[in-house]
Amino acid sequence: MEIGIDSFASARYGSNTLSSVAAMEQLLDRIAAADRAGLDVFGIGEHHKKEFLDSAPAIILAAAAARTTRIRLTSAVTVLSTSDPVRVYQNFATIDLISKGRAELVVGRGSATEAYPLFGFDLRDYDALFKEKLDLLLQLRNEEFVSWKGQFRPALDNQPVYPRALQEKLPVWLGVGGTPESFVRAGMLGLPLMVAVIGGETERFRPLVDLYREAGAKAGFSPQDLRVGLHSPGYVARSDEKAIADYYPGYAEQWTKLGRERGWPAVTRAGFDAMTAPQGVLVVGGPEQVAEKLIRHSKALGGVDRFTFQMDNAGLSHGQLLESIGLIGSEVIPLIKGQL
């Protein structure tokens, strides 16, 4: 199992708000620290809100590529529905060249919708936009000269697209939430699957992951093609008690605020305790508890190939995040490798 981190480039730690310059510098420091600590992947999300600095994730990843040597660098996710696939491919092919073959993409429709009015797209075309643009992106990945025609973008007539990625096939993962259609689509295309699980119990996604694998097998793809990734909020501290004490106050504040925007109930301590329980989604605890939970999640889903912590959503300080990255590299990853 590969282990990594996804970040939304938050500039807010608890009650403190950093300058954008300081927050970006600290984020790049954390990516470099993850590289040194032996983590496998670091992802940058895409949002267009005041509290996040990830509206242009490809630029952040390019800066990170110049500071790192081995860690894979990915979007988490690229909101493909509101992007030009040609530009997306060019950006990530360029990152692939800078990083010497470490670039990846996770593409999705976006759970937050602020990009649609910002870039002039209609939410009523939510799924049609994504389907068409994914088709073009995969063709761009596979062909140097592209002929293509669609509804939402001007046609291409044997148009060359440069630069080409260093990797022969730039990895493209499909980011999904909870709709069966998305899981089946990923399987039919033979794309690796990144499942965002942010609430409830992780094992409830097993039927959807089974749909993905069944659709992929019917389409002729091997089990090795059908990789499954899991993205969930989490944090590692030196003990279970310290992890809870560090994480809960900021998590409760920020997710209650998000809940007001999306119609979710406020976070309660009882609800939080249920989600940090063995079957719960939050991967929060000391190294041993976290390793055990990730192995349990993997077994519950029939095998997980990659897990990424979403850590900067609970008001944690740069120092706390750096310490957590170090513990993941020095203790969590060896524990998982020793047990799998």
**Is residue 256 very low, low, confident or very high in pLDDT (cuts 50, 70, 90)?**
confident
CA pair distance 102, 109, nearest whole angstrom: 24
CA pair distance 146, 158, nearest whole angstrom: 5
pLDDT at 263: 81
Average pLDDT over residues 137-142: 98
**Is residue 14 very low, low, confident or very high in pLDDT (cuts 50, 70, 90)?**
low
Q: Which domains does the chain have, with CATH numbers?
A: 2-339 (3.20.20.30)
CA pair distance 93, 99, nearest whole angstrom: 10
| H-helix or E-strand spanning residue 254 | helix 240-262
Q: Hey, CA dihedral for 196, 198, 203, 204, is it positive or negative?
A: negative
- The pTM of the full predicted model, rounded to 2 decimals, is 0.95
| H-helix or E-strand spanning residue 281 | none
> Could you tell me what percent of the chain has a pLDDT over 70?
99
CA pair distance 294, 40, nearest whole angstrom: 15
**pLDDT tens-place string over residues 36-72:** 999 999 999 999 988 899 999 999 999 999 999 999 9
Contact call for residues 54 and 6 (beta carbons, < 8 A): no
* Backbone torsions φ then ψ of 256, nearest 5 degrees: -65, -40
pLDDT at 13: 62
Average pLDDT, the chain: 94
Q: Hey, CA dihedral for 267, 273, 278, 282, is it positive or negative?
A: positive
Closest C-alpha among 234, 229, 123, 137 to residue 183: 229
Contact call for residues 294 and 336 (beta carbons, < 8 A): yes
CA pair distance 146, 124, nearest whole angstrom: 28
Closest C-alpha among 159, 136, 15 to residue 85: 136
Residue 314 has pLDDT above 90, yes or no: no
- What lies within 8 Å, CB to CB, of 292 at 6+ separation is 278
Contact call for residues 141 and 89 (beta carbons, < 8 A): yes
pLDDT at 189: 97
Which three-class secondary structure state does DSSP give residue 238? Answer: coil
pLDDT at 10: 87
Residue 281 has pLDDT above 80, yes or no: yes
Residue 15 has pLDDT above 70, yes or no: no
Q: What is the DSSP string of 101-166?
A: S-EEEEEE--SS-THHHHTT--GGGHHHHHHHHHHHHHHHHH-SEEEE--SSS--EEEEE--SPPS
> Could you tell me what percent of the chain has a pLDDT over 90?
86
